[in-house]
Amino acid sequence: MGDAGRSGKHPPFPFRALARRSLFHTPLGVSLVGDALGVLRTLPSSSVDLVVTSPPYDGQPKYGDGESYDRRWYEGYFLKVTREVHRLLRPRGSFVLNYRSKRSGHERGTLQYELVLALRAQGFLFCEDFVWGKPSPPPGKFRRFLKDAVEYCFQFAKGPDWQFYPEQCLSPARWDAKDRARRRALPQNYLRVDEPSGQGRRRALAGPDMVRPSTLLLVEPEFSRNPTEHPARFPVDIPEFFLRLLTRSGDVVLDPFAGTGTTAVAAERLGRRWIVVENEASYARAIERRLRLDAPPPTGRKGPRSGARSRRGTDPPEP
Ligand SMILES: C[S@@+](CC[C@H](N)C(=O)[O-])C[C@H]1O[C@@H](n2cnc3c(N)ncnc32)[C@H](O)[C@@H]1O
């Protein structure tokens, strides 16, 4: 549970009420089928710690609903969703937007940058532009462009004191020989000691230190089995990284464009509470199957339950 939820200053998340409307739920979260904007409008203000999402990329009518998700969709619809996201976030909450404009004619599309400016105008702070680098990008041959190997994960926050826990995502330092030599020469890496040898100093920082990660997230695109044939899943490492960096156990995480529920998988694995919304029923149904496979409940805890069948006994706990 987030700080604000703990102190009771902000409304707790209404998991039980949502579980009754859900396609299915677990003790940690609820999965809803519906329109993102419509659902978000029903949720209480200042009740979510982190929103992580990857909306449909522009101009790519591939989800079967006929929508082409072009600039008009972003300007006319998506920016209404982000307004709701701002309202839903707790004061220390963040919004991570995974997005990449496609190329348009001879140029890289600019919508990704325009969205940053539009969200700032809505009152968000633009905290960071994490780059998701794909070591093995999808193949392609383009006349004057190379293979597209990056996407952005823009982090926005509601206020300057956003929750931030880099110690929850430390990674082993990978120093090369040059780095090691440079570090050996730095005076701050030694402790003054009174040693009989008379040397008077001892290495303080030795060995494979754990270090804060950088803003470059090197993660392969999603290659694992995809029974849903969903065309644009992100790898679970992406939401997992942001859940570790920006939330603690029990915090509430929301993904309004859930696809196959990758954010829900990350939240289940890390013990965060979650709510996901997806408007295409076939994808939404796949989330339940996926959770059973990719985030099975610890022994003794109940797994996903259908919203209609399980109103008693397995409701998520009210915070
Ligand atoms: C890029 S995909 C998300 C993929 C997801 N991150 C995953 O790993 O599976 C975007 C999703 O948004 C859904 N979507 C599109 N319009 C929506 C709307 N108005 N409300 C809710 N979901 C919507 C699409 O069906 C699609 O599954």
Q: Identify the burial level of 203 via C-beta atoms within 10 angstroms of its C-beta, where 0-12 means exposed, 13-18 middle and 19 or more buried.
A: exposed
Domains in the chain, number: 2
pLDDT band at 7 (very low <50, low <70, confident <90, very high): very low
Residues 6+ apart with CB under 8 A from 290: 228, 260, 261, 265
Q: Which of 184, 209, 234 is the last residue of a domain?
A: 209
Query: Residue 205 above 90 pLDDT?
Result: no
Q: Which of 209, 233, 261 is the last residue of a domain?
A: 209
Same domain, 186 and 78: no
Q: What value does the mean pLDDT of the chain take?
A: 84
Asked if residue 192 is part of any domain, the answer here is: yes
Asked if residue 318 is part of any domain, the answer here is: no
C-alpha 82 to ligand 1 mean position (Å) = 15
Please calculate the CA angle 39-225-172 and round it to the nearest 5 degrees: 90
**Domain boundaries, position 179:** 172-209
The SS3 call for residue 161 is: coil
Same domain, 111 and 178: no
Same domain, 143 and 273: yes
Query: Residue 315 above 60 pLDDT?
Result: no
Instruction: Please state the rounded mean pLDDT for residues 131-158.
Output: 90
> Which residues sit with their C-beta closer than 6 Å to ligand 1?
35-36, 54-56, 63, 230, 232-234, 257, 259-260, 262, 277-280, 283
Nearest C-alpha neighbor of 275 from the set 82, 43, 91? 43
Residues 6+ apart with CB under 8 A from 303: 26, 291, 292, 296, 297
Asked if residue 120 is part of any domain, the answer here is: yes
Predicted confidence at residue 64, as pLDDT, reads 59
Task: Please count the other Cβ atoms lying within 10 Å of the Cβ belonging to residue 101.
Answer: 20
Same domain, 176 and 277: no
C-alpha 230 to ligand 1 mean position (Å) = 9
The whole-model pTM stands at: 0.85
C-alpha 161 to ligand 1 mean position (Å) = 30
Same domain, 96 and 179: no
Does 78 or 101 have the greater pLDDT score? 78
pLDDT tens string 208-258: 578 889 999 999 887 666 656 666 678 999 999 999 999 999 999 999 999
Asked if residue 316 is part of any domain, the answer here is: no
| 278, 285, 288, 293, best to mutate for ligand 1 pocket (most atoms within 8 Å of CB) | 278
Predicted confidence at residue 57, as pLDDT, reads 80
Nearest CA to ligand 1 atom 3: 259
| 85, 279, 287, best to mutate for ligand 1 pocket (most atoms within 8 Å of CB) | 279
* Closest atom, ligand 1, to C-alpha of 65: 25
- Would you say 238 and 264 are in contact if contact means Cβ atoms under 8 Å apart? no
Instruction: Please state the rounded mean pLDDT for residues 138-158.
Output: 89
Residues 6+ apart with CB under 8 A from 161: 91, 92
Same domain, 108 and 136: yes
CATH code of 81's domain:
3.40.50.150
16-20, 157-161, 189-193: least confident range: 189-193
Asked if residue 78 is part of any domain, the answer here is: yes
